[in-house]
Copies of this chain bind each other. A is one copy, B any other.
Amino acid sequence: MKTLSIKDIAVKANVSITTVSFIINGKAKEKSISEAVIKKVEKIIEESGYKPNQIARSLRTGNSNIIGLIVEDISNSFFAKIARLIEDKAYKRGYKIIYSSTENNVEKAQELINMFKSRKVDAYIISPVKGLEEDIRMLINDNKPVILFDRNLRDVQANYVGANHFSASYQSIESFIAQGKRNIALVTTDIDVQQITERFEGYKKALLDYGLTYREELVLKIHFNQNEASTIDEIKMLFNSEKIDAVLFATNYLAISGLKVLKSIKKKIGAELSVIAYDDHEAFELHTPGISTVQQPLEEIAETVIKLLLSQLSSKSILPNQEVIIPATLIIRN
């Protein structure tokens, strides 16, 4: 069974292709097609189950009603949840989402952008990698709406939606200090994006503001792409070699590795050791005792991203870039 084309419909209805096209695209009235013809054609379309070929349509119009979403790793629960929320919201507005993971790898990210470009996606939502600046600038030059989220790039002017990482991190450390903690460690990654450096800056600033000294040996920077076993080893070393009474994990997957370490070395979380994890995860709520976390407002981030994107898509002129910083909240559990 060959798939039907607009031509088949035109033949069946005994009208021109043009007429069918106008009807499909809701331009019938405006193009003064009679009510009778509209009805007839619509009936035939309905009965035959004809669906326009989106590829042909995209080729002609240059757009696709598709939004490309590029994240670091779709299997990370933070991104998976954001992706799902964005997908839902976009879907309701008639846009489809296609997504892919960069694995924090510039080349892969560039390839993805190229793939999306050659598929003529209408807009991009990107959680960027350092090194992608030029590619993103080209998209913007091309007049494609681009929204960065989760992490910003200093050297590129674009729309951005993200949490206030500095202040969330600062508050976390403040809360440790309020509990009387003095030996506060930070386990973070070595990826050089604003989101991560801000968390680091917040940590540092809070220490200094409260008269504590910043000690390099209490900060562990895990190499991004390494396997979990090595991460666990490094964290284990940190805990074995330093006296630590509080620790902030800068990402949820680091916190998970960290909790595994604590479990294995039988270090109890509680009075003698406080833990805060960045980005919530089911495991933290269920953990005994509950693990305090910095919660990013996923729903709000997704909604803001989509809103920004749609306003760009629907406006003829180029809108000024917006940076939306949404507060993250510290959830204390125990």
List chain B residues, Cβ under 8 A from A51.
114, 117-118
Bound CA span A288–B260, Å: 11
Bound CA span A259–B286, Å: 7
From B83, B118, B286, contact of A256 by CB (8 A): B286
State the Cβ distance, A278 to closest chain B Cβ, in Å. 15
List chain B residues, Cβ under 8 A from A81.
75
- Interface status of A89 (Cβ within 8 A of chain B): no
Q: How many residues of A contact B (CB 8 A)?
A: 46
A97 pairs with B97, CB closer than 8 A: no
Bound CA span A56–B60, Å: 9
Bound CA span A259–B283, Å: 10
Known: A84-B74, A87-B101, A101-B84. A54 touches B119 (CB 8 A): yes
- Interface status of A331 (Cβ within 8 A of chain B): no
Residue of A56, A80, A83 with highest tally of chain B CB at under 10 A: A80
A287 pairs with B287, CB closer than 8 A: yes
Known: A55-B119, A99-B99, A118-B55. A73 touches B77 (CB 8 A): no
- Interface status of A322 (Cβ within 8 A of chain B): no
State the Cβ distance, A23 to closest chain B Cβ, in Å. 18
From B53, B64, B80, B288, contact of A77 by CB (8 A): B80
Q: Which of A245-294 contact B (CB under 8 A)?
A: 256, 259-260, 263, 281-283, 285-288
Contact with B along A185-211 (1 / 0, CB 8 A): 000000000000000000000000000
From B1, B87, B286, contact of A260 by CB (8 A): B286
State the Cβ distance, A293 to closest chain B Cβ, in Å. 13
List chain B residues, Cβ under 8 A from A281.
282-283
- Interface status of A52 (Cβ within 8 A of chain B): yes
- Interface status of A221 (Cβ within 8 A of chain B): no
A80 pairs with B74, CB closer than 8 A: yes
Known: A51-B114, A256-B286. A98 touches B98 (CB 8 A): yes
List chain B residues, Cβ under 8 A from A259.
286
State the Cβ distance, A103 to closest chain B Cβ, in Å. 8
Bound CA span A287–B202, Å: 30
List chain B residues, Cβ under 8 A from A120.
53, 55
- Interface status of A44 (Cβ within 8 A of chain B): no
- Interface status of A164 (Cβ within 8 A of chain B): no
CB nearest neighbor in B for A253 = B282
List chain B residues, Cβ under 8 A from A256.
282, 286
Using A1-B141, A80-B80 as known contacts, list a sample of 6 further A-B pairs with CB atoms less than 8 Å apart, ordered by residue number in A.
A54-B118, A55-B118, A59-B59, A260-B286, A263-B288, A288-B288
* Pairs A-B, 7 closest by C-beta atoms: A283-B283, A75-B84, A98-B98, A54-B118, A80-B80, A75-B80, A282-B283
